[in-house]
Each structure stands twice: as C-alpha cells, then as structure tokens.
Amino acid sequence: MNYMLTILSLKSYKTLKLENILDEWIASRLYQTLEKVTLALDKYELDVAARPLADFVDDLSTWYLRRSRDRFKGDDFNDSMRTQETTHFVLITLAKIMAPFMPFVSEDVYQRVSGFRMKNVEKSVHLENWPTGESFKKESLENMQKIRDIVNLGLEARDKIKIRVRQPLQILKISEDISKMDNQIIELIKDEVNVKEVIFDNTLISKEDSGLKVSISPEITPELLEEGVAREIIRLTQSLRKKANLNPDDKIDLIVQTDKTGQKLIQKYLEQIKKPTNILNIEFTENNGEEVTVEQYVFKIMVK
C-alpha cells in the first residue's frame, strides 16, 4: 500500500489518463472549484471563496465516488489504477484548496492520502504551494450535468410508477438524440436508472416545450423480475455484512432458506450474487435469518 501511495504521489494533473468520463468530469470540477476559490480569495471575499468547496465535496462523494465504487475493485486493472490515481490527485489538491478554511481537516486528509501519516515533519499541506490553475473542460461539465438531469428525470419517472430502483426495466426513452452521445454516457444512464436500453424518441419533443423529456417502460418481464430478485438478495446480503461489521475483503458463506423455485433462481444468478458480496459458498437450509419477499419469491438469509 505504501508503495502504491508513493507512485500515486508523483502523479500530476498533466500525467493523469482521463479516459473515463467520470475522471475527466471530476478533474474539471476540481479546477472549476479552484478557479472560483482563487478569484474570491484574491478579492478577500472569504465567505464567497468557501462556498464552492461544499458543492464540490458533495459532487465528489455522492456522484464520483459512488459511481466509481465498482471501478476501484473491478476486473479492469488499468481502469482501476486510473480511478485510484484520479481520486488520489483530487483529494491531495482538494486538501490544499481547503487548507486556509479547514486547517486540521485538510492536514488529516493530506497526511492520510499521501501516506506520510505525520512521520515527516517537513511534509505538511500548509507547506505546499497553492495549486496552479488548469483550464477545465466546460464541455465535460455540461455533458455530466445533462447526464444527471436525464437520470433525475428517469428516477422521477420510476417513482411515479412506483417501481423500486433495484428492479431492472427495459427501456428509457429520452428527447435527446443519443447518436451524439458517447457510449460511456449511455452506459452511465442505463446503470443509474437501471434500464436495459436508452433510446431516442422524437415524439417526446413538442413545439410548446423544448425542455428535456423522458419516458420509462413499466413492463416487467419474467427475466427482468428474476434480475430484480437477485438484486434484492444482494442488497440484503450487503446489509447483513454491514450489521456483522465485516470488512469488504472478508469472505462469507450464505445460508438461504427458500423453496425449489427460489433455489433455481439463485443458481441461475449465482455469479452475479457472489461477486459483489464476497460469498464463497451458498448453503440451502433452514435458518433464523432475515427475510425478503419479492413477488412470489421468499428468502430467509443469514451470513456465516
């Protein structure tokens, strides 16, 4: 781990490979924030300078880190490394920007992320130079805002038809021409709204209102229902792991009580269930665990 941190600490913005739209976006948001804070500080407007930091931290935690969670531990080693490098760079730079406003928190972030951990008295965020401004990509910010607008409307559409987000649906129709969209954008929308397809529908466009419109298909096929059940099992298993105070790397056995139909479904989606939950084995037997019911499926689950 220390070796990895040493490598990452040598990274600069110019050496980062921002091949993923999330990485490119968070780097652009970082430098947009830096520009706002620097301009306000130069004018001695301390209250104005502090405001962009809260917005950035919110974007970093609720969008970038949440959306990149699977990338950190994904099978694509290069993408995982780029995610770690980008996150490391962002946190170190953010600590420098926050230093005048939150000196102790900034120092703690700097020491932890850099790997120095207070072992070198000459290494402090307060001895670093102020970050130099890089020109952020306005297009990247605009594209991500459009993605988030589509996602919000898609989630609102799901809420109106009262179908939980863990239940996959088939089609999300949008009034934006997807032929102009990067495939990463479409995949991000599909994953966030939990749909199989995103398609352009020009019937959603009206002369009276040219704003963004979405429509979602409420039909649930047997296959989609099964996927939704598998996701519910994953959710409950993760909840049980958390209650047991397990670390992400801790392996578990899953004890499941269900009928033959439920057993067949679990066997069908076995790898999909095991991978995010770090399950070694699944045993079908009676237990006193927690129960989850989805349509005709009933499962009683405990972890060991």
Nearest in space to 232 (alpha carbons), one of 195, 272, 200, 193: 272
Pair (192, 229) in one structural domain: no
Q: Is residue 128 left, alpha or beta, with left meaning phi > 0 and alpha meaning psi from -120 to 50? A: beta
> What pLDDT score was predicted for residue 130?
93
Higher per-residue pLDDT: 22 or 119? 22
Nearest in space to 265 (alpha carbons), one of 248, 252, 282: 282
Domain final residue, candidates 89, 109, 136: 136
Residue-range definition of the domain harbouring residue 183: 139-216
pLDDT-derived band at 14, boundaries 50, 70, 90: low
Return d(Cα 109, Cα 104) in angstroms, integer: 9
Domain count for the chain:
3
Pair (105, 229) in one structural domain: no
Pair (198, 149) in one structural domain: yes
Q: State how beta strands 169-174 and 195-200 pair.
A: parallel
Domain final residue, candidates 201, 216, 231: 216
CA distances 81 to 16, 69, 88, Å, are 10, 13, 10
> What pLDDT score was predicted for residue 3?
29
β-strand partners of 173: 199, 215
**What proportion of the chain, given as a percentage, has pLDDT over 70?**
94
**What are the strands of the beta sheet with 279-284, ordered from one edge?**
279-284, 252-257, 297-303, 290-294
> What pLDDT score was predicted for residue 72?
87
Angle at 18 between CA 17 and CA 22, to 5 degrees: 150
The alpha carbon of 178 is separated from its chain's Cα centroid by a whole number of angstroms, namely: 22
Nearest in space to 216 (alpha carbons), one of 240, 234, 199: 199
Pair (175, 275) in one structural domain: no
Q: Which residue has the tokens 């924030």?
A: 33
pLDDT-derived band at 4, boundaries 50, 70, 90: very low
Q: Which CATH number belongs to the domain containing residue 121 in this structure?
A: 1.10.730.10
> What pLDDT score was predicted for residue 182?
86
Contact by Cβ (8 Å): 92, 113: yes
Question: Does residue 135 surpass a pLDDT of 80?
Answer: no
Q: Write down the H helix ranges in 182-259.
A: 183-193, 222-243
Domain final residue, candidates 114, 136, 158: 136
Return d(Cα 171, Cα 66) in angstroms, integer: 24
Q: Give pLDDT tens digits for 278-294.
A: 999 999 999 998 988 88
